[in-house]
Amino acid sequence: MAKPKVAFYWCSSCGGCEEAVVDLAEGILQVVEAVDIVFWPVALDFKRRDVEAMPDGAIDVCFINGAIRMSEQEAMAKLLRRKSKLVIAYGSCAWMGGIPGLANLTSKKAIFDYVYHQAPTIGNGSAVEPLPRTEVPEGELELPEFSEKVRTLDQTIEVDYYLPGCPPTPKITLEAVEAILKGALPEKGSVLAGDRALCHECKANASKPEKLLIKEFKRIQEVIPDLSKCLLAQGLLCLGPVTRGGCEARCLKAGMPCTGCFGPLEKVHDYGAKALSALASIVDSRDEAELTRIFDAIPDPAGTFYRYSLPASLLGGKRSAEG
Amino acid sequence: MSEAFNPRIVGFFCNWCTYLAADLAGTSRMKYAPNVRVVRTMCSGRVDPQLVVWAFRNGADGVLIGGCHPGDCHYQEGNYKTLRRMGLLRTMLAQLGIQPERLRLEWISASEGERLRDVMNEFSAQIRQLGPLETKSSVISSQSSVAQAAP
């Protein structure tokens, strides 16, 4: 049997997902032995025209990471969709929009105004902005266009499976590859990680009080947490109770509360609203003024609760001023 | 604001108090603004912030939550949980471009039919003044099941 053909591509993301593939360490040898990598711009010298030359459906599995912001990313996603039997959204940006998706709290215009005109390090005397097309004596130059909003991969093309994480851990990546090789994939559209809250994987879960109530939110730089005890009970804003497990609680082992990169559990429709609900309801106060003071310690609720999922949320981002 | 604007408001009323207040207002033949579409919930604590966001996404110009007075909750502390959630939710909605005044929380007991009438009138007038919300244009059309099924 011929080896399955695999492709990797990178859209709006930091590169951490590509790093995660490399982080498989010697596991990558197993992968390379079992599959044929036919496209991976970050590591191997293939060009877009190589993909265009393939027959439709020639790639067995395509892993795409990153959200979609530029027209070139959208075009590549569509091209890869056509050429691939399976498309896997790899990482939280491709699945839910991720950190780049927080740009939906502002507008394209505001971003351009700042980046090209107002930033203190910018000297842009002739007030130039990038244009999709520019005429020069030598001919027409083309640049990818910056879209109004950041979109997730499945708001752009059809996606078969999702691997959560910022980035996905080597464990879930290898498990997914194994499932693909064995033909043991679950129902289309599944998120390839567990469906239990992260708390179940956290060592400190046993110490979580029966009735968890907190009087004050503390920020991570203000305290040295006791790692044997539940971080949330110590007042650190940990999103473990509302976040999908599967990451082996790696951040928590290092004393870092969960920021929610593995996204919502199956029955949750809007991660941010649900996370806000869970966190707010355990605050130990019945007084409105006191509550306001306690919540002042969360200066950016949208950025905190929608950190990885704003484009995939019910509202998608900030309502545009023009309605 | 154009006079034709008729606000759409979703009301989530607790089964034990505000919903009964609405009943009382009705049986007492009180007249009030017809803008609130009432959904009966067993407790204001049942109103998941996802439901509020869902209402705004789907065309509500305002959301009114009615619960029991502090100390009177049928389930002891459901209304306190609502108080905690909705305060923080208002801050987050403001970041998402939805004026916090569009989400209102009121304690109205079963005997307060008149108060219910006043709140309905007041809130309808307030939303009328704020104008239509229109989130639809900013919502990203999605193939994702996450955004399609109601919570």
Res. A77 pLDDT band, cuts 50 70 90: very high
Res. B140 pLDDT band, cuts 50 70 90: low
Task: Check CB contact of B26 with chain A, cutoff 8 Å.
Answer: no
Q: Which residues of A touch B85 (CB under 8 A)?
A: 276-277, 280-281
Q: Which residues of B touch A322 (CB under 8 A)?
A: 137
* Chain B closest-CA separation from residue A44 CA (Å): 32
Chain segment A203-259, per-residue pLDDT in tens: 999 999 889 999 999 998 999 999 999 999 999 999 999 999 999 999 999 999 999
Runs of H (alpha helix) within A143-190: 170-182
Q: Which of A105, A149, A189 sits opposite B95 (nearest CB)?
A: A105
SS3 label, residue A8? strand
pLDDT of res. B3: 63
Residue A216: which of A233, A241, A239 has the closest Cα?
A233
Higher pLDDT, B136 or A43: A43
Domains assigned to chain A: 5-99+148-182 (3.40.50.700), 106-147 (no CATH), 198-305 (no CATH)
Chain segment B27-53, per-residue pLDDT in tens: 999 999 999 999 999 999 999 999 999
Residue A7: which of A25, A26, A21 has the closest Cα?
A21
Q: Which of B65, B76, B144, B145 to mutate to test the interface with A (most CBs of A within 10 A)?
A: B144
**pLDDT of B12 above 60:** yes
Contact assignment for B140 to A286 by CB distance below 8 Å: no
Res. A201 pLDDT band, cuts 50 70 90: very high
- Kindly list the distances between the CA atom of residue A286 and the CA atoms of A178, A241, B93, in Å, as whole numbers in the listed order: 51, 22, 22
Give percent of chain A above pLDDT 90.
85
Residue A8: which of A109, A238, A187, A22 has the closest Cα?
A22
Class of domain B9-134: alpha beta
Q: Which of A277, A312, A322 sits opposite B85 (nearest CB)?
A: A277
**Where do the domains of chain B lie?**
9-134
pLDDT of res. A322: 43
Q: Which of B96, B132, B141 sits opposite A315 (nearest CB)?
A: B96
pLDDT of res. B144: 41
Q: What is the mean pLDDT of residues A133-148?
A: 94
C-beta separation of A160 from A88 below 8 A = yes
Chain segment A12-42, per-residue pLDDT in tens: 999 999 998 888 888 888 888 889 999 999 9
pLDDT of res. B139: 60
Size of chain A in residues? 323
pLDDT of res. A22: 83
pLDDT of res. B147: 41
**pLDDT of B148 above 50:** no
Q: Which amino acid is at A258?
A: C
Residue A35: which of A72, A63, A74, A69 has the closest Cα?
A63
Q: Which residues of B touch A292 (CB under 8 A)?
A: 87
Cβ within 8 Å of A, B 51-90: 52-54, 56-57, 70, 80-81, 83-85, 87-89
The per-residue pLDDT of chain B, averaged, comes to: 90
Q: Which amino acid is at B60?
A: A
pLDDT of res. A149: 94
Q: Which amino acid is at A286?
A: R
**pLDDT of B122 above 70:** yes
Size of interface A-B (CB pairs under 8 A): 137
Chain segment A102-121, per-residue pLDDT in tens: 999 999 999 999 999 999 99
**pLDDT of B78 above 50:** yes
Phi and psi for B125 in degrees, rounded to 5? Answer: -65, -40
Contact assignment for B48 to A277 by CB distance below 8 Å: yes
Contact assignment for A314 to B147 by CB distance below 8 Å: yes
Higher pLDDT, A146 or A29: A146
pLDDT of res. A23: 81
Query: Which range among A247-251, A252-256, A294-298, B131-135 shows the weakest confidence by mean pLDDT?
Result: B131-135
DSSP string, chain B: --TT----EEEEEETTTHHHHHHHHHHTT----TTEEEEEES-GGG--HHHHHHHHHTT-SEEEEEEPPTT--TTSSHHHHHHHHHHHHHHHHHHTT--GGGEEEEE--TT-HHHHHHHHHHHHHHHHHH-----GGGSPP---HHHHS--
Residue A243: which of A160, A137, A165, A153 has the closest Cα?
A165
Q: Which of A286, A301, A316 sits opposite B80 (nearest CB)?
A: A286
Residue A74: which of A168, A8, A157 has the closest Cα?
A157
pLDDT of res. B146: 40
pLDDT of res. B149: 44
Q: Which residues of B125-148 are buried (b: 16+ CB within 10 A; e: fewer)?
A: eebbebebbebeebbbebebebbe
B30 sits in the region (left: phi over 0; alpha: psi -120 to 50; else beta) called: beta
Q: Return the H-helix or E-strand segment holding A246.
A: none
The structure's pTM equals: 0.92
Locate the DSSP E strands across chain A.
Answer: 5-10, 36-39, 59-65, 68-70, 84-90, 133-136, 139-142, 146-151, 161-163
Alpha-carbon B73 to chain mean position: 18
Q: What is the mean pLDDT of residues A186-199?
A: 94
